[in-house]
Amino acid sequence: MKIINIKKINIKNKKILIRADLNVPINNEKIISPSRILSSLKTIKYALKKKAKVMVMSHLGRPKEGEYNKKYSLFPIFKYIKKRIKKTKVKFIKKYFEKIKIKSGELAILENVRFNIGESKNNNELSKKYAKICDIFVMDAFGTAHRKQSSTYGVSKFSKISCAGILLNSEIKFLKKALINPKKPMISIIGGSKISTKFTALKALAKISDYVIVGGGIANTFLAINNKIGKSIHEKKFIKEAKKLKKKFNIIIPIDSRIGTTFNKKTKSKIKKINKIKQNEEIMDFGDKTIKMIKPIIKKAKTILWNGPVGVFEFPNFCKGTKFIAKEIAKNKYFSIAGGGDTIAVIEMFNIKKKISYISTGGGAFLKFIEGKMPGIEILKIKKK
């Protein structure tokens, strides 16, 4: 069942409450990376153009509920948005459960929802308060749609009309393109340190992918099935599960690795075969033979899903594997989708943003969508019904 699209309903002169994901890094009240804000502006600008009375809410960081903390205030975000939406009256509201005075074509940025008691526990009374201040609720925060909280789930349950914003619709569209009847061959590249946080998604991707290339601590867990891997990061509890997965699906694991003896930027790298790693050594990146092995796989792919670096890309001596992955995906002329905080950092580092078909704003949500666990989206389907 499809969900209601904001573009399919009349929002003129209506009070609309947009749940955006404006959770951006801030230092000394200065925004470090505004990418999530910029992604959210499409829906906000559309609503203003249609002469709606627009209110935007979001979380920022993890403050203690019920306590105001300037460090987590959305005021710097309000100032940033105000500069970018010209000829529009933009106001910042702290006490938004009182009657909000707002005219058509005006914008109000509401204070951090996580200052409200009951937000994280999806409190019904708080959810009703959110629903009461609007005529239409717009869910546009893909990055938080996997959380069952008052501002992402509960408000939708009690609002008169609930719909999806432009960003959320875009995320769903492109992820479905990769996951439902993808063009073959399809490959998934999954990196990162913990297999436990990605195992369910990994299993789901293995079922639809022709190849799953694993890197980082996730690959190390697979390597530990038959090898001694020194002090390399891995999860012993998942070795048995990894063995089952590898036996059933086409999981591509490294055949050699760049290793180091200490975890710091100055550590020298040395390439070793997997079965030659010593007790004091740590796997920190793909080796050259592994890179050579996976190059034709990426080259032939017509659908690529990428989540996570395959090595310690922050260290100059251990970024070759991740750089290779990034550059090869950028060269691919077919469909590619990438998501996750570290993945976006890699994309920015190697300046390939324009070469990726779609970059998801979600981190944990990107994986949860693959698993099919997105309550913030599922509730919108129920509301339409």
Catalytic site residues?
36, 194, 341, 364
**Tokens read off for 181:** 């009847």
Nearest to 226 by CA among 259, 254, 262, 193: 254
Report the alpha-carbon distance of residue 381 to residue 164 in Å, rounded. Answer: 10
Output the CA–CA distances (angstroms, integers) from residue 153 to 121, 148, 316, 378, in the order listed: 11, 5, 42, 9
Q: Rounded CA gap, 57 and 48, in Å?
A: 15
- DSSP characters for 331-365? H--SEEEE-SHHHHHHHHHTT-GGGSSEE-S-SHH
Place of tokens 């009461």: 132
Question: How far is Cα 369 from Cα 375, in angstroms, rounded to an integer?
Answer: 10
Terminal C-alpha separation, the chain: 8
Rounded to whole angstroms, the Cα distance separating 156 from 352 reads 37
On whether the CB atoms of residues 274 and 257 are closer than 8 A, the answer is yes
Nearest to 202 by CA among 58, 30, 370: 370
